[in-house]
């Protein structure tokens, strides 16, 4: 299961299938992004799936079930991650969320927020300390139809994160 594997990769703790960032007892365990942030490093995630999908989520969230994507979106916003790029806008949208909480408003207040390849290309990394991009309702399309591309998103993330003199984890 990718969630259990993702949690093992991101925390060093093997957990039960479906869990994200929690140990076998469902207690949150520190992930590599939290360790990096504690060291003063900038952090980011880039994914062609939804950023709330099991594997990217295992680096920023703590929930007992991978299906809790609305809760994972809250964890992403609360995580302090400087860059997150991928799909999954629906999980942040107050018009879709069962609790009606608009998570896009706090993201827009703390990050340069983009929703298209054109907007991403226009980002000036020298003046962008925090960048968020959500480019699809859920997962992004297959590579042949995907825009921005994975290289475009990765390049933008590296340009923003590499400004941190202490280092970064992406």
Instruction: Supply the residues annotated as catalytic.
Output: 2
Question: What does each C-alpha distance from 88 to 23, 41, 98 come to in angstroms?
Answer: 25, 25, 15
Widest distance between CA atoms in the chain: 45
- Which residues face 112 on adjacent strands? 131
| CA atoms within 13 A of residue 85's CA, in its CB half-sphere | 30
| Residue 69: closest CA among 151, 10, 129, 134 | 134
Cβ atoms of 20 and 79 within 8 Å: the answer is: no
Cβ atoms of 54 and 2 within 8 Å: the answer is: yes
Rounded (to 5) percent helix, strand, coil in the chain: 40, 15, 45
Cβ neighbour number for residue 116 with a 10 Å cutoff: 12
């Amino acid at each position: 299961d990718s969630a259990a594997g993702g949690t093992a990769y991101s925390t060093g703790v093997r957990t039960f299938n479906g869990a994200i960032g929690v140990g076998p007892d469902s207690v949150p365990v520190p992930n590599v992004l939290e360790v990096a942030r504690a060291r003063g490093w900038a952090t980011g995630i880039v994914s062609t799936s939804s950023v709330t999908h099991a594997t990217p989520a295992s680096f920023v969230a703590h929930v007992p079930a991978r299906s809790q994507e609305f809760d994972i979106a809250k964890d992403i916003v609360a995580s302090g991650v400087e860059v997150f790029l991928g799909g999954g806008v629906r999980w942040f949208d107050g018009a879709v969320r069962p609790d009606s909480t608009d998570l896009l408003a706090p993201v827009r207040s703390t990050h340069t927020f983009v929703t298209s390849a054109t907007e991403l290309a226009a980002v000036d990394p020298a003046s962008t300390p925090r960048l968020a991009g959500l480019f699809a309702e859920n997962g992004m399309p297959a590579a042949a139809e995907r825009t921005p591309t994975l290289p475009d998103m990765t390049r933008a993330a590296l340009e923003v994160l590499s400004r941190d003199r202490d280092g970064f984890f992406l």
